[in-house]
């Protein structure tokens, strides 16, 4: 078992990484006998893990209830959020109630937002069941829902009281789902740690066959990197923006496609290559590193081009609404070298369009 502490003064909390985490009621579950919890999951995860986790908690003296939501990014919406509120209100759950998000990034984001806003804030625990959620979405307190005009444009910062990462769940993921998580892992390496990028180049094949020691190191390293950023900039006012590498382009893809067809990780992978090509056009990145990034993304089974049907005009329409953009000015996180990125302000729209075309024609 590995333990990492997110240090946020009164809001500090542990990230626990282990095998067999659903077998025993260990200290990683910050719950007491008699606590009331509502397990929130989706209709894909529920048949596999809901009863296992609920039985574990019930045996340990925790009063449990459940809510099963429809799967899919398109369901990270106001309608689904209201379903959670209705459940909590009908059962008269109060501020002592604890929500448990059992699922991927969608479940974590919407459960966290419900916890942030129900009776002006209740506690919740993240139990991520996808690689992407384990290394990124479950950590840091960003919660929210999507709007048809933009991804994650409605939300709140609300930290969990714990993140419980069970490595065993990764064996139930499809290759597409696993690759989606690899996109965020590669993002961490490009943005923050060149040595970790080199490690990924050498150990990607081990990760793809779910080699347990490699998975443990990889997930722990991503959690450490994110923790180091969050403790400095919890509310995304400064350095935390480096974690958005590829996301302005990637969110445009997701929004254009209506949060279907492409996964978050696939969109971010294409977005990373667009950011790389933007940096190349600005003469702040070298071609050899660009080739290394493209090769690693390709080996991970991720796209290195955007959807064929999207034009540069389509991208710009959504990118102008991005949270980092101000008055139509595009502020983009771009690589300087592998392991180092910076935010470039007011990037020329024509240059962005050309960078998108470079990516999709290469």
- 247 in a labelled binding site: yes
Instruction: Name the token pair of 251.
Output: 């969110």
What is the C-alpha to C-alpha distance for residues 158 and 117, in angstroms, rounded to an integer?
A: 9
- 109 belongs to an annotated ligand binding site: yes
The answer to whether 142 is a known ligand-binding residue is: yes
Is 140 annotated in a binding site? The answer is: no
CA distance 208 to 179: 9
**126 annotated to bind ligand:** no
From first to last of its 362 residues, the chain has per-residue pLDDT tens of 899 999 998 889 999 999 888 887 776 788 999 999 999 999 999 999 999 999 999 999 999 999 999 999 999 999 999 999 999 999 999 999 999 999 999 999 999 999 999 999 999 999 999 999 999 999 999 999 999 888 888 999 999 999 999 999 999 999 999 999 999 999 999 999 999 999 999 999 999 999 999 999 999 999 999 999 999 999 888 899 999 999 999 999 999 999 888 999 999 999 999 999 999 999 999 999 999 999 999 999 999 999 999 999 999 999 988 877 777 789 999 999 999 999 999 999 999 999 999 999 98
The answer to whether 184 is annotated as binding is yes
Res 27: pLDDT:
66
71 is in an annotated binding site: yes
Q: Containing H/E element for 314?
A: helix 312-319
Domains of the chain as residue ranges with CATH:
2-172 (3.40.50.1970), 175-361 (1.20.1090.10)
Cα angle value 72/73/74 (rounded, 5°) = 90
pTM: 0.93
**Which pLDDT value is given to residue 312?**
95
- CA distance linking residue 338 with residue 321, whole number of Å: 28
129 is in an annotated binding site: yes
The verdict on whether residue 66 carries a ligand-binding annotation is: no
Residue 23 is predicted with a pLDDT of: 84
Which residue, 155, 156, 146, 45, is CA-closest to 100?
A: 45
**Furthest CA-CA distance within the chain:** 61
């Amino acid at each position: 078992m590995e333990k990492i502490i997110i240090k946020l003064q009164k809001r500090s909390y542990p990230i626990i990484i282990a095998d067999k985490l659903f077998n025993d009621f260990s200290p990683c579950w910050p719950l007491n006998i008699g606590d009331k919890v509502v397990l929130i999951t989706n209709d894909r995860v529920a048949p596999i893990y809901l009863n296992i986790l609920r039985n574990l908690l019930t045996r340990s003296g925790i009063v449990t209830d459940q809510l099963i939501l429809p799967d899919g990014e398109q369901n990270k919406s106001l309608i689904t959020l209201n379903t959670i509120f209705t459940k909590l209100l009908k059962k008269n759950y109060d501020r002592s109630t604890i929500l448990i998000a059992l699922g991927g990034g969608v479940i974590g984001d919407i459960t966290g937002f419900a916890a942030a806003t129900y009776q002006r804030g209740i506690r919740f625990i993240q139990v991520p069941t996808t690689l992407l959620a384990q290394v990124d979405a479950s950590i840091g307190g960003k919660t929210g829902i999507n709007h048809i005009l933009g991804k994650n444009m409605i939300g709140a910062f609300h930290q969990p009281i714990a993140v419980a990462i069970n490595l065993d769940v990764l064996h139930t993921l499809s290759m597409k789902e696993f690759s989606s998580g690899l996109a965020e892992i590669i993002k961490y390496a490009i943005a923050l740690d060149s040595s970790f990028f080199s490690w990924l180049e050498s150990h990607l094949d081990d990760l793809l066959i779910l080699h347990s020691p490699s998975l443990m190191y990889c997930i722990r390293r991503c959690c450490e990197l994110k923790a180091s950023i969050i403790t400095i900039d919890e509310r995304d006012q400064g350095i935390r923006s480096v974690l958005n590498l590829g996301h302005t382009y990637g969110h445009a893809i997701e929004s254009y496609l209506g949060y279907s067809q492409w996964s978050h990780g696939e969109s971010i992978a294409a977005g990373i290559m667009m950011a790389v090509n933007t940096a190349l056009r600005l003469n702040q990145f070298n071609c050899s590193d660009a080739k290394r990034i493209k090769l690693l993304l390709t080996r991970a089974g991720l796209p290195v081009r955007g959807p064929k049907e999207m034009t540069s005009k389509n991208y710009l329409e959504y990118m102008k609404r991005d949270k980092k953009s101000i008055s139509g000015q595009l502020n983009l996180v771009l690589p300087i070298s592998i392991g180092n990125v910076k935010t470039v302000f007011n990037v020329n729209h024509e240059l962005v369009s050309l960078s998108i075309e470079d990516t999709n024609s290469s």
